[in-house]
Amino acid sequence: MRLAAFLLTTLIMGPGVAVAQATPPPAVAAEADVVPGTFLFESRVRYEGVRQDGLDDADGVTARLRLGWRSPTVSNLTFLVEGEAVQAIVSDFNDTIHGPASRAVIADPDTVELNRLQVTWTGLPDTEVTIGRQRIVLGNARFIGNVGFRQNEQTFDAVRVTTTAFEPFNLTYAYIDRVHRVFGDDSPVGEWQSDSHLIHAETPTPAGTLSLYGYWLDFPTAPGQSSATLGARLAGNRNLAEGWSAGWTVELARQSDYGSNPARFDLDYSLVSGRLAHGPISLVVAHERLDGNGVRGFQTPLATLHAFQGWADVFLTTPARGLTDVSATAAYTWAEPPVGRRWVLSASWREFTDADGDLDFGSEFDAAAQVTINDHWALEAKMAAFEGAGIFADRDKAWLSLEYRF
């Protein structure tokens, strides 16, 4: 309760209070060489609006605060603790815990919780072992991520080992005991018990970075999400003549039943994308396919899902017939804007069908402007417009957020 009071007080009073309370007292002469560690502070205020056919409009203004401390490294040990608080300022939305169910969902419920509590040991050469509640992001977060877009991020009670001792490979192994999901501790689906193993390896090759992975996910409290996924990804980039560059990504994976899941399935995943860039302008064209057998689609329950298949979040769960996402994304990086340090402007067009391309699911247009003001402040405005087909309803979403961190 003291942690909750501290977090909420800081949220109301602003970063100045946090700095004042976190500043250690002046060290006595005998302690002059003691390093006080690193204070962690992040805050974000965001408006989100949702207009979805068949539901009442949703409008929400939510504030998130993270406060933490990372100790100095002593005897190869580093300790980190971080709390997180999310509070709705305007709450005209369904937060997945409190209704009304007739209103569109904005999945940012109020919460005060322990976000991270971990110890890292670096006693072995080129190796790092982290134990406790922690953030885990593997690769591009397509399968394992922290869902950083939502106000309450996803963290894991886990043991993670990362090593570069076996050159040229960068290896990561993690065992996950519990998943703390974005819905918070008060939600019946806010936590999953887990008996999951993750292996991820990366190595450079002449054609780009090769990633090999195996994710054996078992959730006794959510057995339908259990699966085993084996895959490989190759991503590369080449500089061409006169300031042009080209990039490519090819990825294949197979997902099968595993652990507590009573179903039997073998489903495929594929991604092919190409990138062309010149100076500040880039264009990416991609074809992503998640298989489906009519009963179940290829699922990625621990992914940072908002970053994939459109910002309208229509396909957080892959349909039973699978999903094909064909997209084109253009971006412009403004290195010397009139305001701030850097602007990134982007727009995407996406067409969705089932895995075989026989059934139209809809199309979506996304656009965003990300403004880096300075080392601490950032502003983002973005929107998503989904035009559905069949069972998928039309919806429009908009966000405006201001973030401060140090």
**Rg of the chain over all Cα atoms, to the nearest angstrom:** 22
pLDDT value of residue 95: 96
Task: Please give the pLDDT value at position 340.
Answer: 93
**Structure token digits, residue 133:** 């509640």
Instruction: Report the distance separating Cα 232 and Cα 215, nearest Å.
Output: 12
**62: β partners:** 46, 88
DSSP per-residue string spanning 331-359: EEEESS-SSSSEEEEEEEEEEEE-TTS-S
Q: Within 10 Å of residue 220's Cβ, how many Cβ atoms?
A: 12
- Kindly provide the residue ranges of all beta strands, DSSP E only, lying in 19-126, ordered along the sequence: 38-52, 58-70, 77-92, 111-121
Instruction: Specify the pTM.
Output: 0.89
Measure the CA–CA gap between 274 and 265, rounded to whole angstroms: 30
pLDDT for 99: 81
The one-digit pLDDT tens for each residue of the chain (406 residues) are 343 443 334 333 333 333 333 333 344 334 444 558 999 999 999 999 999 999 999 999 999 999 999 999 999 999 999 999 999 999 999 999 988 999 999 999 999 999 999 999 999 999 999 999 999 999 999 999 999 999 999 999 999 999 999 999 999 999 999 999 999 989 999 999 999 999 999 999 999 999 999 999 999 999 999 999 999 999 999 999 999 999 999 999 999 999 999 999 999 999 999 999 999 999 999 999 999 999 999 999 999 999 999 999 999 999 999 999 999 999 999 999 998 999 999 999 999 999 999 999 999 999 999 999 999 999 999 999 999 999 999 999 999 999 999 8
**What residues contact residue 13 under an 8 Å CB cut-off, 6+ apart?**
none
Of all helices (H) and strands (E), which one includes residue 155? strand 155-163
The type of residue at 154 is Q
Residue among 213, 212, 211 at smallest CA distance from 197 = 213
Q: How many Å separate Cα 239 from the centre of its chain?
A: 29
Q: Say which residue the tokens 């409009």 belong to.
A: 57
